[in-house]
């Protein structure tokens, strides 16, 4: 992973198993959102569902985005016991997952 200082976004795209219920997804979302209160380097969390009319989601229905201060914060988050416990719970409901960390770049006008 390339080291980056400043804001880093951690994006998770989730394709849930067919048998995962909406109640289970709600439980996952609440547990994911709670990580921001447990893991200091995690500065914010937001999530949403695909609403695109292009139908290019390839079965990925949910996106989760967390904000960190640098890649060191992401690295600390990944090994934090609260995240490890959550990730084990989350993974058992996933058919596929895609994770990308990026440093936002803003164009000046």
Cα–Cα distance measured from residue 24 to residue 74, given in angstroms and rounded to the nearest whole number: 26
* pTM score: 0.90
- pLDDT tens digits in sequence order for the chain, 109 residues long: 566 678 999 999 999 999 999 999 999 999 999 999 999 999 999 999 999 999 899 999 999 999 999 999 999 999 999 999 999 999 999 999 999 999 998 767 6
Does residue 80 have an active-site annotation? Answer: yes
pLDDT at position 6: 87
Residue spans of the domains in the chain: they are 7-102
| The one catalytic residue among 10, 57, 62, 77 | 77
* 77 counts as catalytic: yes
CA-CA distance, 69 to 44, in Å (whole number)?
Answer: 10
Looking at CATH, the fold of the domain delimited by 7-102 is given as Alpha-Beta Plaits (3.30.70)
Q: How far is CA 57 from the centre of its chain?
A: 16
């Amino acid at each position: 992973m390339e080291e980056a200082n400043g804001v880093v976004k951690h994006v998770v795209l989730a394709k849930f198993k067919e048998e995962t219920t909406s109640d289970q997804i709600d439980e996952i979302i609440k547990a994911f959102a709670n990580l921001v209160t447990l893991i200091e380097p995690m500065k914010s969390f937001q999530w949403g569902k695909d609403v695109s009319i292009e139908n290019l989601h390839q079965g990925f229905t949910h996106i989760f985005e967390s904000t960190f201060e640098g890649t060191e914060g992401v690295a600390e988050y990944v090994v934090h016991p609260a995240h490890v416990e959550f990730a084990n719970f989350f993974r058992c409901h996933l058919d596929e997952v895609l994770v990308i960390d990026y440093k936002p770049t803003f164009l000046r006008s």
